[in-house]
């Protein structure tokens, strides 16, 4: 039976992540928000520490997970897995660490070497040989293109097999860590006439001829994280860099590459949960300093209006947190979690935007100036409801799963 309390074995990891967030991220948060596109060199030592934790099997606080626990190879629980009891593995550990680190600063977590969403994709679907080659590289993930946003099936970047290499042509936008990462996981189509089934993911390493960083974007939030436009012009990569099977299975369709999201969407939800918790902690402090006391033993309607608002936000946050932990727990226990991954992403993405904006409002002028981090968190929060699939896309996926409809039946 699932237990959504933090497992005791992850207590040290959670404490270490909170300590890093408080002592490393928070002090430089405003600095790198103002210095957009400047690399936070203070993160190098922390990244090295997390690499050591990952190598030792203790798990880190970033995006890279243990592919042996990944949902890309998920299956329904068997009697043997039930007999072995619940499994609290790398997915849950990473989610818990991500929550704490994003309590410090979400953009700085995204800026950490070897903790990109591309790393989670590699961890989810790479074979042993690919894991050995790419497992220790900082990998971004490139999906979105100028012609489409959330409809990942509309990928127009092509990959044509030529001897022992694939030749990639196309352009990708909004690539997190696109300039700083050592490699990029690129979605491309082997045959556009075969639709979704022909879309595969390829690892393209920096320095590959034909791979160009076109520009960096200026953004509303998460400014410490670089967001790049990438172009591939007759870019040749070894055929061994294709993640997963090269076969185009029309019956299986788009499922292969889409399973990557089963690992990454709970991570984005965890980012939102951590950011929302930071805003809640800060507004609770501000209210207390203003003489507004939150009484957890009284119903909301019997308290100060600001306290009642805080309690409603706290309940919303708790729902998002529990959904996120459930999605990660299911991945660790090799239970298909596509529905829960989208539910957690949809709930957490909406909650963090609502919570941070309400905290800004409750704080008055203090929430709208740079005197506190609330205004920054409100700007950072919006991306949580957009990347890795927008709110509307997540709701569409949830509806399809609940109603048993295909993507062609329910658009």
The token pair that represents 120 in the structure block: 């989670």
Establish how many alpha carbons lie within 13 A of residue 168's alpha carbon, considering only the half-sphere containing its beta carbon.
Answer: 33
Q: Please list the residues that pair with 183 across neighbouring strands.
A: 139, 205
CA-based nearest residue to 390, from 353, 360, 335, 337: 353
Task: Tell me if residue 171 is catalytic.
Answer: no
Please choose, from the candidates 385, 389, 338, the residue with its C-alpha nearest in 3D space to the C-alpha of residue 148: 389
CA 295 – CA 315 distance, rounded (Å)? 14
**SS3 string of the chain?**
CCCCCCCHHHHHHHHHHHHHHHHHHHHHHHHHHHCCCCCCCCHHHHHHHHHHHHHHCCCCCCCCCCHHHCHHHCCCCCHHHHHCCCCCCHHHHHHHHHHHHHHHCHHHHHCCCCCCHHHHHHHHHCCHHHHHHHCCCCEEEECCECCECCCHHHCCCEEEEECCEEEEEEEEEEEECCCCCCEEEEEEECCHHHHHHHEEEEEEECCCCCEEEEEECCCCCCCCCCEEEEEEEEEEEEHHHEECCCCCCCCCCCHHHHCHHHHHHHHHHHHHHHHHHHHHHHHHHHHHHCCCCCCCCCCHHHCCHHHHHHHHHHHHHHHHHHHHHHHHHHHHCCCCCHHHHHHHHHHHHHHHHHHHHHHHHHHCHHHHCCCCCHHHHHHHHHHHCCCCCCHHHHHHHHHHHHHCCCCCCCC
Question: Residue 342 in contact with residue 389, Cβ under 8 Å?
Answer: yes
For 299, residues 6+ apart whose C-beta sits below 8 A from its C-beta are none
Pair of tokens at residue 388: 């890795």
**In degrees rounded to 5, what are phi and psi of residue 295?**
-105, 110
Q: Please list the active-site residues.
A: 388
């Amino acid at each position: 039976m699932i237990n959504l309390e933090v497992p005791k074995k992850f207590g040290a990891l959670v404490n270490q992540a909170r300590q890093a967030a408080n002592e490393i991220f928070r002090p430089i948060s405003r600095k790198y928000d103002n210095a957009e596109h400047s690399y936070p060199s203070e993160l190098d030592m922390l990244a090295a520490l997390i690499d050591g934790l990952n190598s030792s099997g203790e798990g880190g606080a970033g995006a890279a997970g243990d592919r042996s626990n990944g949902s890309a190879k998920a299956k329904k629980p068997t009697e043997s897995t039930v007999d072995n009891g619940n499994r609290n593995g790398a997915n849950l550990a990473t989610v818990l660490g991500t929550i704490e680190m994003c309590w410090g600063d979400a953009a700085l977590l995204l800026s950490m070497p070897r903790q990109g969403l591309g790393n989670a994709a590699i961890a989810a679907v790479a074979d042993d040989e690919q894991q050995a080659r790419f497992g220790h590289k900082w990998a971004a993930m490139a999906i979105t293109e100028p012609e489409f946003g959330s409809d990942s099936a509309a990928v127009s970047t092509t990959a044509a097999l030529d001897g022992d290499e694939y030749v990639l042509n196309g352009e990708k936008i909004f690539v997190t860590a696109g300039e700083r990462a050592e490699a990029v996981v690129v979605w491309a189509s082997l045959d556009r006439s075969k639709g979704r089934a022909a879309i595969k993911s390829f690892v393209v390493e920096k320095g590959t001829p034909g791979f160009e960083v076109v520009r960096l974007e200026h953004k509303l939030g998460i400014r410490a994280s670089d967001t790049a436009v990438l172009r591939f012009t007759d870019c040749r990569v070894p055929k061994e860099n294709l993640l997963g099977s090269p076969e185009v299975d029309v019956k299986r369709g788009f499922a292969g590459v889409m399973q990557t999201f089963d690992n990454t969407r709970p991570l984005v939800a965890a980012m939102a949960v951590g950011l929302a918790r930071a805003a809640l902690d800060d507004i609770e402090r501000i209210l207390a300093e203003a003489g507004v006391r939150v009484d957890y033993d009284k119903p909301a309607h019997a308290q100060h209006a600001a306290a009642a608002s805080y309690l409603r936000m706290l309940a919303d946050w708790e729902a998002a947190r529990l959904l996120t932990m459930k999605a990660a727990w299911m991945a660790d226990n090799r239970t298909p979690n596509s529905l829960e991954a989208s539910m957690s992403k949809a709930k957490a993405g909406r909650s963090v935007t609502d919570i941070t904006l309400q905290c800004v409002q409750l704080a008055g002028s203090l929430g709208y100036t740079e005197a506190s981090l609330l205004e920054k968190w409100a700007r950072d929060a919006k991306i949580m409801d957009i990347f890795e699939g927008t709110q509307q896309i997540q709701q569409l996926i949830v509806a399809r799963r609940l109603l048993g409809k295909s993507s062609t039946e329910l658009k």
